[in-house]
């Protein structure tokens, strides 16, 4: 059974493509109203870096730094005192173009440009400051993807990780060669990185900064096992050719990339 959904530009086939150097564009200054659903707050911010529109996912400076917000209003006519306003510091790229295939509760692609990890992480987290993180994955431990019971974690951690997996909290997972990354939605948004080879995971890290094997890592291992089984069974040829796949929960894609879209086209190809 194969299902394909294509996201395409309506005018692509009618365009003449010419390679030119794009002109430098100055973003329109604005005061935007941002809704922070996780904090149940709505605040206004000054913006002079981005061409923002209603529905954009943004991150701001100040007390709500790092919290995902949604632009609900854009005002271009204003007179303000800059010292009274914090600024918008980042906007997520929610444009998705390319072919996605159905894989149970996920969409999956074998094209590195469709839903790359860096883009999807930006839907949930503000750009990280490299100086604030120290990453080490040098314990040389390997864990079988098919023996979750043998993981060095308590029964409670494994059970909670299984709950995360069943609740589709692993919103995104990609595997490029042996290098894997995932986004897990919990109390906050967590990034899990790992190396996968011949049924085993190693160099497993999570930015929940636990000093023990965590539920997010358990959930990612369960999700990877599930997705790999579907990909190999239904899309093995494409996966073998690319050596890459990325999977995203259906609801996360639809609720994030398409929630505020007023134009666009979906091509659906279903083969039973």
pLDDT at 252: 92
Alpha-carbon gap, residue 151 to 267, rounded angstroms: 42
Tokens encoding 271: 């083969």
Choice between 182 and 126, residue whose per-residue pLDDT is larger: 182
pLDDT at 255: 87
pLDDT at 139: 62
Tokens encoding 21: 């150097």
Does residue 129 surpass a pLDDT of 90?
A: no
The 10s digit of each residue's pLDDT in 235-271 is: 999 999 999 999 999 999 988 887 776 677 667 666 6
Q: DSSP states of 60-123 as a string? A: ESSTTTT--EEEEEEE------GGG--BEEEE------EEEEEETTEEEES-TTTS-HHHHHTT
Alpha-carbon gap, residue 260 to 128, rounded angstroms: 26
Choice between 13 and 250, residue whose per-residue pLDDT is larger: 250
pLDDT at 140: 74
Q: For the whole model, what pTM was predicted?
A: 0.85
Does residue 23 surpass a pLDDT of 90?
A: no
pLDDT at 10: 43
pLDDT at 26: 80
Does residue 111 surpass a pLDDT of 90?
A: yes
The 10s digit of each residue's pLDDT in 143-202 is: 999 999 999 999 999 999 999 999 999 999 999 999 999 999 998 999 999 999 999 999
Domain boundaries, the chain: 26-91, 98-257
Does residue 47 surpass a pLDDT of 70?
A: yes
Say if CB 212 and CB 151 are below 8 A apart. Answer: no
Say if CB 65 and CB 59 are below 8 A apart. Answer: yes
pLDDT at 17: 37
Does residue 124 surpass a pLDDT of 70?
A: yes
Where residue 141 falls among pLDDT bands split at 50, 70, 90?
A: confident
């Amino acid at each position: 059974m194969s299902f394909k959904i294509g996201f395409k530009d309506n005018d692509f086939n009618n365009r003449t493509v010419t390679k030119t150097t794009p002109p430098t564009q100055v973003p329109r200054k604005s005061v935007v109203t941002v809704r922070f659903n996780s904090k149940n707050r709505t605040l206004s911010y000054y913006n002079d870096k981005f061409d923002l529109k209603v529905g954009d996912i943004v991150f701001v400076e100040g007390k709500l730094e790092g919290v995902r917000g949604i632009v609900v209003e854009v005002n271009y006519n204003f007179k303000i005192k800059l010292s009274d306003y914090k600024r918008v510091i980042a906007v997520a790229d929610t444009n998705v173009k390319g072919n996605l295939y159905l894989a149970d509760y996920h969409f999956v692609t074998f094209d590195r440009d469709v839903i790359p990890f860096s883009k999807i992480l930006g839907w949930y987290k503000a750009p990280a400051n490299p100086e604030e993180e120290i990453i080490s994955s040098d314990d040389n431990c390997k864990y079988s993807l098919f023996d979750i019971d043998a993981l060095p974690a308590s029964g409670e951690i494994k059970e909670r990780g299984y709950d995360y997996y069943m609740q589709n909290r692993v919103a995104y997972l990609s595997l490029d060669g042996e290098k894997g990354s995932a986004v897990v939605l919990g109390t906050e948004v967590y990034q899990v990185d790992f190396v996968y080879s011949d049924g085993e995971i190693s160099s497993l890290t999570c930015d929940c900064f636990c000093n023990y094997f965590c539920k997010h890592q358990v959930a990612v291992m369960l999700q990877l096992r599930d997705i790999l089984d579907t990909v190999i069974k239904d899309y093995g040829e494409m996966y073998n050719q690319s050596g890459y796949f990325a999977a995203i929960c259906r609801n996360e894609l639809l609720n994030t990339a398409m929630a505020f879209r007023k134009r666009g086209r979906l091509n659906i190809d279903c083969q039973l």
